Amino acid sequence: MSYILSPETIPSPYNNILMVMEWLFLFISVAFLICIFLVLLKTKRLRFRYFEDFEEFTKFRPYEADKIAKNWKKIIKKMDSGLESEYKLAIIEADVMLDEVLRRIGHTEEGVEAKINATTSSELKNVEEMKQARKVRNDIVYDPDYHLTLEKTRETLKVYEETFRNLNALA
């Protein structure tokens, strides 16, 4: 029992076995820590909880602002095509993007109309213009014979852009 108090008294063959076991368990422990770290990186909860806040803090912009800006550029490029179908698609995509942005800032209402109505005047300064833009979007979706001009598309997308700027989704 004296080897419990003084490890030097452990017989030599057992000392080598214990040394191998120490290294083996140390290796296993490090492997498990690496696995835990990788699992935490893959989960959305940790990413949402810490990394999004960190990115917003360091960039001084909302999380995924780069993604929103990239999508917005794609929407604007649709106006260069000269096709009415692309104009319509641009407005529909802008509306989908607005739904995502409103959901991301905490509006859990069902549908974009309800989310717009639930915004405060400090969040969204152009509520009436946005309702008119939504009317154009609804005409596009529900009336297949609706004719959309380039000028009307520019006007409508300008309202969406102003809305995104008010919500700090676009710089």
Domain of residue 115, CATH code = 1.20.120
> Does residue 48 belong to any structural domain of this protein?
no
Cα torsion 38, 43, 49, 55: sign: positive
- Per-residue confidence at 92, pLDDT binned at 50, 70, 90? very high
Residue 10's Cα: distance from chain center in Å? 59
34 and 93 in a single domain? The answer is: no
95 and 139 in a single domain? The answer is: yes
68 and 135 in a single domain? The answer is: yes
Residue 137: how many other CB atoms lie within 10 Å: 20
Measured between alpha carbons, how far is 163 from 171 in angstroms, rounded to an integer?
Answer: 12
pTM: 0.66
Range 24-36 average pLDDT: 93
pLDDT at 91 over 60: yes
103 and 146 in a single domain? The answer is: yes
Q: How high is the mean pLDDT of the chain?
A: 83
74 and 130 in a single domain? The answer is: yes
Start-end of H helices in the chain = 2-5, 12-42, 44-46, 52-59, 65-77, 84-104, 112-118, 127-142, 150-166
27 and 106 in a single domain? The answer is: no
Percentage, residues of the chain above pLDDT 90: 29
Measured between alpha carbons, how far is 141 from 92 in angstroms, rounded to an integer?
Answer: 8
Domain boundaries, position 17? 2-42
Place of tokens 């935490």: 40
| pLDDT at res. 127 | 84
Place of tokens 């368990």: 25
Domain tally, the chain: 2
122 and 91 in a single domain? The answer is: yes
Q: Give burial (CB, 10 Å; 0-12/13-18/19+) of 8.
A: exposed
> Does residue 133 belong to any structural domain of this protein?
yes
| pLDDT at res. 2 | 55
> Does residue 55 belong to any structural domain of this protein?
no
37 and 108 in a single domain? The answer is: no
18 and 80 in a single domain? The answer is: no
